[in-house]
Structure 1
C-alpha cells in the first residue's frame, strides 16, 4: 500500500511467497548487511549472490510466482540419430555429463539438444520423441547482474527496471521511501506462433513453430502508483496490466480478491493489519460452494457442522474438514466420470494439478450446465457428492492437514527424539485462503505449499519484521536451528535490522 493508505504515512510492503515448508533447513536464508551509508536485508537462497526479497535504505521488494508460460514441448521426427526440420535431417548437439557417485562407479548421461531444447529420448532409435525447452534455461548471468544491483537501487522505477530484466519469471511488488509503489513481472516470455495455444506439443519439423525471441520486460504486466493506492499479487492472472499475455493457466482469484476486500474495507492500513492478512484463513471459495451444497444436506451432525462453519480453515475446525470431504467428492464425481476415478484420485493425491489450478476446475463445478457433467444434472451430481462427503471420516482440520519439518539430508532415518525433525503440526489454511496450507504428494514424497517466509517492511522505519519456518542454521545442535519456527506457526514476527 502507498503512504496515503498506510497508518504510518509511508508505504508498507508485505510478502509471503508460498513454497515448500516441510523441510529443514528452510528454503530461505536471512541476511542483513550494512555499509557506511546504506544497508540491505531480507532473505536469499544459499549460493545466490543477492537478497531476493527484502529492502535497502530506500526501496523494498517482494516476489510471488507468476505462472508465466515459459516452457514448450515439440514433437521431433528422428531417424539415424538426426531430426527432421523443413524437409531435411539435421545433427543434434551432443552433451555428455559425468556423474560421480559415492561408493559407486561414475555414470555418464548423454543429452541430445537442438534449437528446441533437450530431446526426451534416444534419436538413434528411429521414431518420434518430445523435446522440451524452458526459456530461462540458457540464462543466468543477466539475473546475477540484476540481483547485485539491488543494493544500490534508489526508487521504485529503478527497481522495476532492475527486477524486470531477471530471466526467471516472478511478480515483483515494490515500494520506496518517497511514497511510490509499483509492480513488475519478470521473465523471458517466448514469442510463439500466434496460432499456438501453449497447451499441447507442436510439430518440431516446421520452423514456423520455433520461438522467434522473447518479449521485452516492459511489455509484461506492470503498474506504477495505481489510483486505488495498493497493489495485490497472489499467483492470479495479471495479464490486464501488460501488452502481452504471459499466461496459459494460473491460480484462481480467491486469495487476491480476499486481500483486496480487506484493503478496501479499511482506509488506513497498519503493520498489524498486514500481519493479520498474512494469517487470514477465510475462504471465498467456500462462500461460493456452500449455497450449492446446502440443499443436499441432511439432519446429521456433520451437516450441522457445515451449516455453522465460519468458512475459516483454522487447525481446530471440523467444519473445514466437512467442506473438504464434500468438495473432494464433488471433484471426483465430476472429473472421475471422465478421467476415471483412479486417475482423478492420482491427480488429487499425488500431483500439484489441483493444488495449483483449482480455479479452472471450479469454473466447471460452479457452472449450472457443463459437458463435463455428461448426461447428468448438476443437482444429481451434487446430491451424490454431498452424501458421500458427509459419510467420510471426520477429523479436525489440523489433524487432517498435518505435516512435519524433515531434515533434507537425514530424512526419517534417525529416531525422532534426536531432534533433526520437528512436528508434526496442524497446518492452517488451504488452497483458496490468503495463508495457503496445502499438503500433497509429488514424485513419491510429501511436499507442501505454504508461506515459506513472512516479511513486512514499513518504509517509515529502518528495519523489517519477519518470520521463517525454521532458523538461520542448518546444524541440528545449534540454538538457531529452529529458533524462528514457533514464531512462524503462531504468526509472530521478529525485527530484523543491521
Structure 2
C-alpha cells in the first residue's frame, strides 16, 4: 500500500448523466487497457475482464462447510443482509460476501499489518515493511489468537476465514479484482488463503492510527530546540473546562472505594497517580532532537490504516434520551472522522439469525471492516452503540542509552531481545533485518533508519543522560503491543441485550480506547470509557519522551475497569462525545492524557441540542442529521468581529473584507466569505507561528488541483486546472489549524502586543508589531492568495473550489501508472464544512485547503423504530472499479443525505433487490 501522495485528476460527473458517464469511462478504460496490454505482451483486456470480478448476487452458490442454506439479500445499493441458522454459518457467509466485494482491499490490509507490502508492490515498500515488522502487529495478533481470545471468538474467526477461502477457491487474480490483473503486468503475485490472524491484526492497524498523543509528544520535545517553556505552554494551552463541557459531567471518583460512579465522595483531586506535567529528562539533547526528527520522517512515510498517521483524527457521537425526542425513545448519532479512502474503510451489512437462540445468537446491523467478522458500530434488536476516539495516552517514547548489544537500565547494561525478519520483495532479492526489543517488549524504532542509528551513535550527551557507550535509540511502549481481547469485545457488544451486558463487553475493548455511547429500546442512554490505560509514577505524565535508563519512568500498571469514567441516564437527558476531555481533572485522580481535543465540536453539538430543548422542541431523526451537517466555524465567530474593525486602504483587500460583513460563519461550499476567512485564518497561523517553530516540525503539504487564476469555468473542466502543492519556506513549520490552534489564538487575543503577533515584512507586504497589524497583513496575503487560486473577481469565489475531496484507491491509485489512477480514482467533490466543525471535512493549513479527512460514515439510530434509522457510507459496498456500487453513495454523502436502513425481516424484504442463496 504505497503511502498517500498527490491527488488524482480523475473527474466525478454530476448527478445528471451519471450512468452515461460511467459507461463512457468504462469504454475508455477498456480501450486504454487494451493498448497497454498490447504493448506489454499482446494480452487483450475486454469488458468481460473488467466485469469478471464483480460478485454474483443472484441465484445460488454451493459452499463446502456450511451446515445449512444462507440467504444474502442486497438492497439497491448492494448492501448485504445475511440470514443463517447458526453462528458459524453466519460468519462464514460474512467472510464469503465481504471477499466478493472487497478482497483486494482485504489482501492489501493484511500485507500492511504483517509488514509484507513488498511482496505485492516491490522494493519501494521495503522501508515501510521494515518499520511494520519492527512493530510486529501480526506477531501480537497471533499471540492474541493463541492465548487470550475466547474459544467462541476463535470459532467465529475460523468460520469467517473459511468463507473467505471458499470465495478464493479456484480463482485467478483477474477473477478477484481488476487490480490483480494490473499487478500481473509486472508481478506474478498470487493471493494466499485467509487466516484468522489476518482478521485480528487489522485491529492493531486501527489502533495505530488512533494511538493518541505520540505526535504531540514528539513535537513538544522538538520545540525545545527553539522555544522556551513559556512559549511551548502558549502552544499547548490547558483544556477550557469552564467553557467546553466534558463528556462525563455527573459522575465522580470515590477515593474510598476506588471506583467511579454517578455518586460518590469528593476525591482528592490532583493526587495524581498518573503524574504531573514533569518531563523526567531534559529534552534538549542533540541525541534526542536528532532521533525524534528522524523518527518523524519515518512516521510520515507510513501508509495509513484508518486515519492520517495519527494526526487530525476526530469523530462525533451523541445520544438524546426519549424525554426530548419525537418518538419518546432515544436517538443515537455517530460519524467517525477518518482519512478519505476508496473504497471506504467501512463496510455496511446486517447479520441475522433466522431465530435467535443459543445456537444462533446474533441479530445485528451496522458498520464493520472488510476482513473482520462481526459488526463494530451499529445496533441489534435491543441496543445501539457508537464510538469516537478517546485520545487517552497509551503510548510513550523512551530515549534509550545504548551500549554494545544492550541498553542501560537501572545502572546496568541489559541485553536486547532480538529476532531476525526476512522481507520478500517482488522482483528483487529478499532483505533481512534484526528487530531489537527491551525487556518490556518495547521495539527499538530507531533501528529502522540508517540516519537514526548514525546520529544515535554520535549523540551529544548532556547532564541528564549517563555518559556511557554507543549513543541513543528510541523505543516505543504501547498498549497494543500486548495481547488483548478487543475481538472478543466486538462479538460481546453485537449480542448485548442491555446496559449491564454492554458494560461487560466494554471491559474487553482494550485497544484502541474509544468513547462508547449507548442507547436501548427500554429508553436508557449511557457512556463508558473502556481501554487498557497505563498509570505512571509522579513526575511522568506521558507528555514528552522519557529516559529509558530510569526504572521509575516505566509504567506502574493500568487503571482498573471500575475506576474508569462512565455515565448512565444523566439528568440532562443527553450525552455528547466529540474527542473532548472525558472528565474534569479536578474530579479524577488519574491523568488520562495531556492532549485532549479542545472541545470546539463537542460544545457546538451540546449547544445545538440544548437550544432545541430550551425552545421546548422535540428532536427528530432529521434534526440529528441536520446537526451532523452543521458548518459553523467557532474560530470565525471569534476573529471576524476583530477583522471587520481593521482599517484597510487597498480597495481590492477591502472588497474581500466586505465578504465577511453579515456572514453567519457557516462554511457552505458556495460561500465566498468562507473561502476568504479560511485563507485569512491560514495566513494568520503562518505569520504568527510559521517562522517561529522549529523546521523539524514541518509537515509536508498535500497537493491538490485548483482552477487557474484566469478562469472562472466549472471545476470539472480538466483543462482549466493546475496542480498546486502546499507552499512553504523550507526552514519553516506551519500549524495544521485544528482546534488546538483555535485555543492558542483565543488565549493570545487579549495580549495585543505579544511577541507571537510580530512578523517581518516580505517584499511589498508590511511587517507587523502587534495583533491587529498581523491581522491586516493576513487579510492582504489572503486576498492575493485567492486571487492567484480563484481569480481576481471575488464574485466567482467559493469555498468548494478550494475545499474539495478526491477519492483515491489506496494502492495502485496513489503510485500506480497514470491510466490506472484514472481508472481507480474518483473526484473531485466540492464540500461544505471544515476543520473542527461538526461537519468535519478536515483540511490541513500546513498544506492547502484540500480535504484530508472526512466523516467516514454517518448514522442516526432510532430506538423507537429501528427500521426508521438512517445511514450512509463515504463510497459504496463494492471495491470493484466500475461496479455500480463503487461510489454510488458518495453524491448523497456529499449532499448530507442519509439512506433508509432496513432491519426487521419485513423491511429488509421490501428493500431487497437481489437475493443469493449459499448452499452447503
CA deviations 1:108-161 (Å, max 9, x no partner) are 222111126111234895211111122222134x11111111122111342133
Deviates more, 1:400-409 or 1:358-367: 358-367
Matched, 1:279 2:645: no
| Separation (CA, whole Å) in 1 of partners of 2:394 and 2:377 | 22
* Cα pair distance change 1:421/1:347, threshold 3 Å: closer
| Separation (CA, whole Å) in 2 of partners of 1:467 and 1:97 | 42
8 Å CA contact 1:149, 1:162 repeated in 2: yes
**Which residue of 2 is the match for residue 425 of structure 1?**
829
Q: How many residues align?
A: 495
| Separation (CA, whole Å) in 2 of partners of 1:134 and 1:228 | 36
* Aligned pair partner of 1:121 in 446, 449, 452: 446
* Aligned pair partner of 2:335 in 8, 11, 16: 16
Cα offset for 1:29? 0.6
The SS at the match of 1:96 is strand
| Separation (CA, whole Å) in 2 of partners of 1:342 and 1:118 | 23
CA deviations 1:75-131 (Å, max 9, x no partner) are 111111110011100011112222222222222222111126111234895211111
**Which residue of 2 is the match for residue 475 of structure 1?**
880
Matched, 1:31 2:349: yes
**Which residue of 2 is the match for residue 494 of structure 1?**
899
CA deviations 1:363-410 (Å, max 9, x no partner) are 444342556447943233333333333332154211111121111233
The SS at the match of 1:281 is coil
* Cα pair distance change 1:146/1:332, threshold 3 Å: same
| Separation (CA, whole Å) in 1 of partners of 2:599 and 2:777 | 28
**Which residue of 2 is the match for residue 405 of structure 1?**
807
* Cα pair distance change 1:83/1:341, threshold 3 Å: closer
8 Å CA contact 2:736, 2:844 repeated in 1: no
Matched, 1:252 2:606: no
* Aligned pair partner of 2:693 in 330, 335, 339: 339
| Separation (CA, whole Å) in 2 of partners of 1:353 and 1:193 | 32
| Separation (CA, whole Å) in 2 of partners of 1:111 and 1:245 | 32
| Separation (CA, whole Å) in 2 of partners of 1:198 and 1:238 | 17
* Aligned pair partner of 1:382 in 766, 770, 775: 775
* Cα pair distance change 1:3/1:351, threshold 3 Å: farther
**Which residue of 1 is the match for residue 745 of structure 2?**
362
* Cα pair distance change 1:345/1:98, threshold 3 Å: closer
* Aligned pair partner of 2:564 in 197, 202, 220: 220
- Tell me which protein shows more helix as a share of its residues: 2
Deviates more, 1:9-18 or 1:374-383: 374-383
| Separation (CA, whole Å) in 2 of partners of 1:428 and 1:203 | 45
* Aligned pair partner of 1:202 in 546, 555, 567: 546
The SS at the match of 1:14 is strand
* Cα pair distance change 1:130/1:409, threshold 3 Å: closer
**Which residue of 2 is the match for residue 293 of structure 1?**
643
| Separation (CA, whole Å) in 1 of partners of 2:701 and 2:672 | 25
Cα offset for 1:425? 0.8
* Cα pair distance change 1:100/1:474, threshold 3 Å: same
| Separation (CA, whole Å) in 1 of partners of 2:536 and 2:476 | 14
* Aligned pair partner of 2:501 in 154, 158, 163: 158
Which runs of structure 2 are paired with 1:255-274 in the superposition (5 Å)? Answer: 255-267=601-613, 268-274=618-624
8 Å CA contact 1:293, 1:382 repeated in 2: yes
**Which residue of 2 is the match for residue 103 of structure 1?**
427
Deviates more, 1:115-124 or 1:479-488: 115-124
* Cα pair distance change 1:278/1:346, threshold 3 Å: same
Segments of 5+ residues of structure 1 without an aligned counterpart are none
The SS at the match of 2:576 is coil
* Aligned pair partner of 1:89 in 384, 409, 413: 413
- Tell me which protein shows more strand as a share of its residues: 1
Deviates more, 1:214-223 or 1:106-115: 214-223
CA deviations 1:284-310 (Å, max 9, x no partner) are 221111122222253621011012322
| Separation (CA, whole Å) in 2 of partners of 1:441 and 1:262 | 27
| Separation (CA, whole Å) in 1 of partners of 2:734 and 2:491 | 36
Cα offset for 1:455? 0.9
**Which residue of 1 is the match for residue 658 of structure 2?**
304
8 Å CA contact 2:388, 2:515 repeated in 1: yes
* Cα pair distance change 1:340/1:322, threshold 3 Å: farther
**Which residue of 2 is the match for residue 185 of structure 1?**
529
8 Å CA contact 1:239, 1:247 repeated in 2: no
TM-score of the aligned structures, taking structure 1 as reference length: 0.92
TM-score of the aligned structures, taking structure 2 as reference length: 0.51
Matched, 1:146 2:489: yes
| Separation (CA, whole Å) in 2 of partners of 1:173 and 1:6 | 17
8 Å CA contact 1:239, 1:246 repeated in 2: no
8 Å CA contact 1:10, 1:458 repeated in 2: yes
Deviates more, 1:81-90 or 1:159-168: 159-168
Larger radius of gyration: 2
* Cα pair distance change 1:337/1:408, threshold 3 Å: closer
**Which residue of 1 is the match for residue 786 of structure 2?**
393
Cα offset for 1:46? 1.8
Matched, 1:211 2:555: yes
* Cα pair distance change 1:12/1:351, threshold 3 Å: farther
CA deviations 1:52-92 (Å, max 9, x no partner) are 11001111001111111111111111111110011100011
8 Å CA contact 1:252, 1:358 repeated in 2: no
Cα offset for 1:172? 1.0
* Cα pair distance change 1:346/1:472, threshold 3 Å: closer
* Cα pair distance change 1:59/1:417, threshold 3 Å: same
| Separation (CA, whole Å) in 2 of partners of 1:221 and 1:294 | 44
Matched, 1:327 2:681: yes
The SS at the match of 2:824 is coil
Deviates more, 1:380-389 or 1:396-405: 380-389
| Separation (CA, whole Å) in 2 of partners of 1:169 and 1:433 | 23
* Aligned pair partner of 1:460 in 861, 864, 888: 864
* Cα pair distance change 1:321/1:276, threshold 3 Å: same
| Separation (CA, whole Å) in 2 of partners of 1:146 and 1:343 | 37
Segments of 5+ residues of structure 2 without an aligned counterpart are 1-319, 357-361, 448-452, 458-469, 703-725, 727-732, 760-768, 788-796, 904-920
| Separation (CA, whole Å) in 2 of partners of 1:383 and 1:340 | 25
Cα offset for 1:201? 1.2
